[in-house]
């Protein structure tokens, strides 16, 4: 009888792997989700040395782990490692969530884009349909969000990047899913956008992408996928340009985590209180 009781109350283990990882809010977020939904899980953070990712995943799976999140710099390596990928992970070329299936195969997903879209549409009531979007950057962060954004049916997504070839490459990759173009920053002058999303890492260094003035439509929004205690330099620029709303990426962080949690547990947590709790932490 006691063994059955122990089995029914077994704690399922999850982790987030990255380098560095000590700053990660994921353990706090998933612990909040578990309490809210009465799920018996333990979620930790695991720092992985370069070259050690595949072994770390194998060790965690062998020790009874149920799944994991992946952050910088291992998302592309995770994409290559998994046995099966969701459509959004497949086209993104990056995996941030792995589910260990009962047959011991690995299912990879990318929840970043749906996290961004849910934060914009559910938490902030931003309507993307038929709007002109400008996405800054052409790296992995941007690649992971383009398909969910295009599924919202914007009139146009323009990808602006310092290296225009990368922007054109991304536009070519996603063109079958909607109206999307690649551009250099210097080509933006004279254009107008309803929503600008900063997918570069410039905010981490308090730097602003080289944006021309007067490219915001009336009632335009600015969204930075980065977040910090104080508004990022990009969001400060948005305020100076009279954006109607300026939003950081903290809600995206929680929403993408909620999608991972749903993949693992089959339960969709409420994100509002968790977003508030993480905001208080920072």
Task: Please indicate whether residue 75 is annotated as part of the active site.
Answer: yes
Q: Give burial (CB, 10 Å; 0-12/13-18/19+) of 179.
A: middle
**Active-site residue, from 75, 101, 166, 242:** 75
CA atoms within 13 A on the CB side of 180: 25
Distance CA 275, CA 282 (A): 11
Tokens describing residue 213: 């003035």
Query: Would residue 158 be called left, alpha or beta, if left means φ above 0 and alpha means ψ between -120 and 50 degrees?
Result: beta
Contact 116, 179 (CB under 8 A): no
β-partners of residue 224 are 198
Order across the sheet with 97-100: list the strands: 41-47, 12-18, 67-70, 97-100, 106-109, 84-85
Q: Would you name the residues annotated as active-site residues?
A: 75
């Amino acid at each position: 009888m006691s063994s059955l009781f122990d089995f029914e109350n077994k704690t399922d283990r999850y982790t987030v792997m990255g380098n560095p990882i000590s700053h990660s809010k994921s353990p706090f977020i998933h612990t909040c989700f578990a309490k809210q939904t009465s799920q018996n899980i333990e979620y930790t953070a695991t720092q992985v040395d370069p070259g050690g990712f595949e072994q770390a995943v194998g060790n965690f799976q062998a020790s009874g782990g149920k799944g994991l999140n992946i952050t910088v710099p291992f998302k592309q390596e995770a994409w290559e490692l998994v046995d099966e990928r969701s459509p959004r992970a497949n086209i993104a070329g990056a995996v941030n969530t792995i589910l260990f299936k009962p047959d011991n195969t690995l299912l990879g997903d990318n929840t970043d884009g749906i996290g961004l879209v849910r934060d914009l549409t559910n938490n902030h009531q931003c309507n993307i349909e038929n709007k002109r979007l400008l996405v800054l950057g052409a790296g992995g962060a941007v690649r992971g969000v383009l398909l969910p954004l295009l599924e919202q049916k914007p009139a146009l997504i323009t990808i602006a990047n310092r290296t225009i070839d990368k922007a054109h490459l991304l536009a070519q990759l996603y063109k079958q899913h909607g109206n999307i173009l690649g551009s250099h920053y210097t080509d933006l002058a004279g254009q107008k956008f309803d929503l600008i999303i900063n997918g570069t890492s410039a905010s981490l260094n308090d730097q602003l992408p080289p944006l021309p003035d007067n490219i915001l439509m009336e009632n335009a929004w600015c969204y930075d996928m980065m977040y910090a205690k104080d508004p990022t330099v990009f969001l400060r620029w948005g305020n100076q340009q009279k954006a109607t709303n300026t939003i950081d990426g903290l809600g995206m962080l929680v929403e993408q985590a909620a999608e991972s949690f749903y993949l693992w547990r089959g339960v969709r947590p409420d994100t509002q209180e968790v977003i508030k709790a993480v905001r208080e932490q920072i």
